[in-house]
Structure 1
Amino acid sequence: MKASFAILLAACLSVEQALGLVCWYCDGADNNWGCWRWQFCSNSDNYCATTYIGAGIGGYSSQSISKGCVPICPQGGINVGLAAASVSCCSSFLCNISGATSVRINHAVLAIGILGSLLYFLFGPRL
Protein backbone atom coordinates (compact mmCIF):
# COMPACT_ATOMS: atom_id res chain seq x y z
CA MET A 1 0.00 0.00 0.00
CA LYS A 2 2.76 2.43 0.96
CA ALA A 3 4.77 1.56 -2.17
CA SER A 4 1.86 2.21 -4.54
CA PHE A 5 1.10 5.51 -2.75
CA ALA A 6 4.75 6.56 -3.11
CA ILE A 7 4.74 5.69 -6.83
CA LEU A 8 1.48 7.61 -7.35
CA LEU A 9 2.87 10.61 -5.46
CA ALA A 10 6.10 10.58 -7.49
CA ALA A 11 4.12 10.36 -10.74
CA CYS A 12 1.92 13.31 -9.75
CA LEU A 13 4.89 15.46 -8.79
CA SER A 14 6.77 14.72 -12.00
CA VAL A 15 3.88 15.52 -14.33
CA GLU A 16 4.15 19.00 -15.81
CA GLN A 17 1.21 21.32 -15.42
CA ALA A 18 -1.27 20.52 -18.20
CA LEU A 19 -2.63 24.03 -18.62
CA GLY A 20 -0.28 26.98 -18.23
CA LEU A 21 -1.09 30.65 -17.99
CA VAL A 22 -4.03 31.94 -20.06
CA CYS A 23 -4.38 35.67 -20.82
CA TRP A 24 -6.79 37.93 -22.65
CA TYR A 25 -5.36 38.89 -26.05
CA CYS A 26 -5.73 41.80 -28.47
CA ASP A 27 -3.40 43.93 -30.54
CA GLY A 28 -4.13 47.64 -30.93
CA ALA A 29 -7.82 47.55 -29.95
CA ASP A 30 -9.70 50.83 -29.58
CA ASN A 31 -11.14 49.77 -26.21
CA ASN A 32 -11.46 46.79 -23.85
CA TRP A 33 -14.44 45.42 -25.80
CA GLY A 34 -12.02 44.47 -28.58
CA CYS A 35 -10.04 42.21 -26.24
CA TRP A 36 -12.21 39.12 -25.77
CA ARG A 37 -9.91 36.45 -27.20
CA TRP A 38 -7.87 34.05 -25.08
CA GLN A 39 -4.21 33.32 -25.55
CA PHE A 40 -2.57 30.19 -24.15
CA CYS A 41 0.87 31.27 -23.01
CA SER A 42 4.06 29.34 -23.69
CA ASN A 43 6.12 27.88 -20.85
CA SER A 44 8.50 30.86 -21.01
CA ASP A 45 5.69 33.41 -20.48
CA ASN A 46 5.17 34.29 -16.83
CA TYR A 47 2.81 37.28 -17.01
CA CYS A 48 -0.32 38.62 -18.65
CA ALA A 49 0.31 42.21 -19.75
CA THR A 50 -1.94 45.12 -20.70
CA THR A 51 -0.40 47.99 -22.66
CA TYR A 52 -2.34 51.24 -22.96
CA ILE A 53 -1.37 54.20 -25.14
CA GLY A 54 -3.63 57.24 -25.37
CA ALA A 55 -3.44 60.81 -26.60
CA GLY A 56 -5.87 63.66 -26.95
CA ILE A 57 -6.02 67.33 -27.79
CA GLY A 58 -9.14 69.43 -28.14
CA GLY A 59 -12.00 67.28 -29.39
CA TYR A 60 -9.71 64.60 -30.83
CA SER A 61 -8.57 61.62 -28.80
CA SER A 62 -7.17 58.22 -29.61
CA GLN A 63 -6.20 55.15 -27.63
CA SER A 64 -4.74 51.74 -28.26
CA ILE A 65 -4.92 48.71 -25.98
CA SER A 66 -2.84 45.57 -26.43
CA LYS A 67 -2.98 42.48 -24.20
CA GLY A 68 -1.20 39.15 -24.15
CA CYS A 69 1.46 36.91 -22.67
CA VAL A 70 4.96 38.19 -21.87
CA PRO A 71 8.04 36.52 -20.34
CA ILE A 72 9.08 39.56 -18.26
CA CYS A 73 7.00 42.42 -16.88
CA PRO A 74 8.04 45.94 -17.94
CA GLN A 75 5.46 47.48 -15.59
CA GLY A 76 5.25 51.27 -15.50
CA GLY A 77 3.48 54.30 -16.83
CA ILE A 78 3.81 57.92 -17.86
CA ASN A 79 1.23 60.66 -18.21
CA VAL A 80 2.20 64.03 -19.67
CA GLY A 81 -1.29 65.53 -19.94
CA LEU A 82 -1.76 65.25 -23.70
CA ALA A 83 -0.52 61.66 -23.90
CA ALA A 84 -0.28 58.67 -21.60
CA ALA A 85 1.26 55.23 -21.77
CA SER A 86 1.08 52.40 -19.25
CA VAL A 87 1.98 48.73 -18.92
CA SER A 88 0.46 46.61 -16.15
CA CYS A 89 1.07 42.92 -15.48
CA CYS A 90 -0.45 40.09 -13.49
CA SER A 91 0.15 36.36 -13.26
CA SER A 92 -3.09 34.44 -12.81
CA PHE A 93 -5.75 32.96 -15.11
CA LEU A 94 -7.30 35.70 -17.34
CA CYS A 95 -6.24 38.38 -14.86
CA ASN A 96 -5.64 41.15 -17.45
CA ILE A 97 -9.31 41.86 -18.07
CA SER A 98 -9.32 45.55 -17.18
CA GLY A 99 -7.46 48.42 -18.79
CA ALA A 100 -4.30 49.93 -17.36
CA THR A 101 -5.52 51.37 -14.06
CA SER A 102 -2.43 53.47 -13.38
CA VAL A 103 -3.32 55.79 -16.28
CA ARG A 104 -6.82 56.40 -14.91
CA ILE A 105 -5.38 57.15 -11.46
CA ASN A 106 -2.85 59.54 -13.01
CA HIS A 107 -5.69 61.49 -14.66
CA ALA A 108 -7.15 62.16 -11.21
CA VAL A 109 -3.76 63.29 -9.87
CA LEU A 110 -3.28 65.53 -12.91
CA ALA A 111 -6.75 67.08 -12.44
CA ILE A 112 -6.02 67.81 -8.76
CA GLY A 113 -2.71 69.43 -9.72
CA ILE A 114 -4.38 71.63 -12.35
CA LEU A 115 -7.12 72.63 -9.89
CA GLY A 116 -4.52 73.53 -7.27
CA SER A 117 -2.58 75.62 -9.79
CA LEU A 118 -5.75 77.40 -10.87
CA LEU A 119 -6.69 78.21 -7.28
CA TYR A 120 -3.21 79.56 -6.60
CA PHE A 121 -3.36 81.65 -9.78
CA LEU A 122 -6.79 83.10 -8.91
CA PHE A 123 -6.23 83.74 -5.24
CA GLY A 124 -2.44 83.95 -5.06
CA PRO A 125 -0.88 84.52 -1.66
CA ARG A 126 -4.30 85.20 -0.06
CA LEU A 127 -4.76 81.44 0.48
Structure 2
Amino acid sequence: MKTTLVSLLAAVLCVEQAYPFMCYVCQEQESKKDCMTISMCAEEDKYCVTVSDKVGTDPNKPKYVISKMCSPTCPATSQQQNQTDQVVSCCEKPLCNVNGASSKQSSSGVMFLAVLASITYILARGL
Protein backbone atom coordinates (compact mmCIF):
# COMPACT_ATOMS: atom_id res chain seq x y z
CA MET A 1 0.00 0.00 0.00
CA LYS A 2 2.78 2.41 0.95
CA THR A 3 4.62 1.60 -2.28
CA THR A 4 1.50 2.49 -4.25
CA LEU A 5 1.15 5.81 -2.44
CA VAL A 6 4.81 6.68 -2.99
CA SER A 7 4.46 5.77 -6.66
CA LEU A 8 1.34 7.94 -6.92
CA LEU A 9 3.18 10.87 -5.32
CA ALA A 10 6.11 10.45 -7.71
CA ALA A 11 3.74 10.31 -10.68
CA VAL A 12 1.96 13.48 -9.60
CA LEU A 13 5.26 15.31 -9.22
CA CYS A 14 6.39 14.09 -12.66
CA VAL A 15 3.14 15.32 -14.22
CA GLU A 16 3.80 18.70 -12.68
CA GLN A 17 7.23 18.78 -14.29
CA ALA A 18 5.79 17.80 -17.66
CA TYR A 19 3.13 20.52 -17.41
CA PRO A 20 4.69 22.94 -14.95
CA PHE A 21 2.50 25.94 -15.53
CA MET A 22 -1.07 26.29 -14.31
CA CYS A 23 -3.17 29.38 -13.68
CA TYR A 24 -6.59 30.19 -12.33
CA VAL A 25 -8.96 30.99 -15.20
CA CYS A 26 -12.38 32.60 -15.47
CA GLN A 27 -14.23 35.12 -17.61
CA GLU A 28 -15.93 38.23 -16.26
CA GLN A 29 -16.87 37.01 -12.79
CA GLU A 30 -18.16 39.39 -10.12
CA SER A 31 -16.40 37.62 -7.26
CA LYS A 32 -12.91 36.19 -6.73
CA LYS A 33 -14.52 33.09 -5.24
CA ASP A 34 -16.02 32.37 -8.67
CA CYS A 35 -12.53 32.47 -10.24
CA MET A 36 -11.06 29.34 -8.72
CA THR A 37 -10.93 27.04 -11.78
CA ILE A 38 -7.40 25.74 -12.40
CA SER A 39 -6.26 25.27 -15.97
CA MET A 40 -3.08 23.85 -17.46
CA CYS A 41 -1.51 26.50 -19.66
CA ALA A 42 -0.10 26.02 -23.13
CA GLU A 43 3.63 25.43 -23.41
CA GLU A 44 4.24 28.98 -24.64
CA ASP A 45 2.34 30.57 -21.72
CA LYS A 46 4.66 32.07 -19.13
CA TYR A 47 2.28 34.36 -17.20
CA CYS A 48 -0.88 34.17 -15.17
CA VAL A 49 -2.90 37.32 -15.84
CA THR A 50 -5.70 38.90 -13.82
CA VAL A 51 -7.84 41.64 -15.38
CA SER A 52 -10.28 43.69 -13.29
CA ASP A 53 -12.66 45.81 -15.35
CA LYS A 54 -14.72 48.52 -13.70
CA VAL A 55 -18.34 48.14 -14.79
CA GLY A 56 -20.21 50.15 -12.17
CA THR A 57 -20.85 53.88 -12.52
CA ASP A 58 -21.45 54.71 -8.85
CA PRO A 59 -18.18 56.24 -7.52
CA ASN A 60 -19.14 55.29 -3.94
CA LYS A 61 -19.66 51.62 -4.82
CA PRO A 62 -17.34 50.68 -7.68
CA LYS A 63 -18.22 47.35 -9.27
CA TYR A 64 -15.66 45.19 -11.05
CA VAL A 65 -15.66 42.00 -13.08
CA ILE A 66 -12.64 39.74 -12.89
CA SER A 67 -11.08 37.64 -15.63
CA LYS A 68 -8.09 35.35 -15.15
CA MET A 69 -6.09 33.56 -17.81
CA CYS A 70 -2.80 32.10 -19.01
CA SER A 71 -0.77 34.27 -21.37
CA PRO A 72 2.50 34.04 -23.32
CA THR A 73 3.18 37.72 -22.55
CA CYS A 74 2.47 40.16 -19.77
CA PRO A 75 0.40 43.12 -20.99
CA ALA A 76 2.50 46.30 -21.05
CA THR A 77 1.77 48.33 -17.93
CA SER A 78 2.31 51.59 -19.80
CA GLN A 79 -0.65 50.76 -22.04
CA GLN A 80 -2.82 50.00 -19.03
CA GLN A 81 -2.10 53.24 -17.16
CA ASN A 82 -4.29 55.18 -19.59
CA GLN A 83 -7.24 52.90 -18.89
CA THR A 84 -8.31 53.84 -15.38
CA ASP A 85 -11.31 51.51 -15.60
CA GLN A 86 -9.12 48.43 -16.01
CA VAL A 87 -6.39 46.97 -13.81
CA VAL A 88 -4.15 44.28 -15.27
CA SER A 89 -1.70 42.29 -13.19
CA CYS A 90 0.48 39.38 -14.13
CA CYS A 91 2.84 36.98 -12.39
CA GLU A 92 5.20 34.24 -13.45
CA LYS A 93 4.65 31.42 -10.96
CA PRO A 94 2.14 28.58 -11.28
CA LEU A 95 -1.20 29.41 -9.63
CA CYS A 96 0.10 32.82 -8.58
CA ASN A 97 -3.07 34.63 -9.70
CA VAL A 98 -5.25 33.20 -6.94
CA ASN A 99 -5.83 36.73 -5.57
CA GLY A 100 -4.38 38.70 -8.47
CA ALA A 101 -0.64 38.87 -9.05
CA SER A 102 0.28 39.43 -5.42
CA SER A 103 0.05 35.77 -4.39
CA LYS A 104 3.35 33.97 -3.75
CA GLN A 105 2.00 30.43 -3.71
CA SER A 106 3.91 27.90 -5.76
CA SER A 107 2.34 24.94 -7.45
CA SER A 108 4.80 22.59 -5.77
CA GLY A 109 3.56 23.60 -2.33
CA VAL A 110 -0.08 23.41 -3.34
CA MET A 111 0.45 20.06 -5.07
CA PHE A 112 2.32 18.67 -2.05
CA LEU A 113 -0.47 19.69 0.32
CA ALA A 114 -3.12 18.18 -1.95
CA VAL A 115 -1.24 14.88 -2.21
CA LEU A 116 -0.57 14.85 1.54
CA ALA A 117 -4.26 15.45 2.27
CA SER A 118 -5.22 12.65 -0.14
CA ILE A 119 -2.78 10.20 1.42
CA THR A 120 -4.00 11.09 4.91
CA TYR A 121 -7.62 10.55 3.83
CA ILE A 122 -6.79 7.19 2.23
CA LEU A 123 -4.90 5.97 5.30
CA ALA A 124 -7.63 7.18 7.67
CA ARG A 125 -10.26 5.30 5.66
CA GLY A 126 -8.09 2.17 5.52
CA LEU A 127 -8.43 1.87 1.75
Per-residue deviation, residues 27-81 of structure 1 (Å, max 9, x unmatched): 000021110100100101110000111143256643110001001110434477x
The answer for unaligned runs of 5 or more in structure 1 is 1-16, 102-127
> 1:38 aligns to what?
38
Structure 1 residues 20 and 26, CA gap change in structure 2 (3 angstroms): same
Superposition pairs of residues 80-91 of structure 1, within 5 angstroms: 84-91=85-92
Alignment root-mean-square deviation, CA: 2.4
Q: Which runs of 5+ in 2 are unaligned?
A: 1-16, 103-127
User: Identity of counterpart residues, as a percentage?
Assistant: 33
Letter in 1 for 2:68: K
Runs of 4+ in structure 1 deviating by more than 3 angstroms, as ranges, are 58-61, 77-80
Structure index of larger Rg: 1
Aligned residues: 83
TM-score for both structures, normalised by structure 2: 0.56
Q: What TM-score comes out, normalization by structure 1 length? A: 0.56
SS in 2 for 1:57: coil
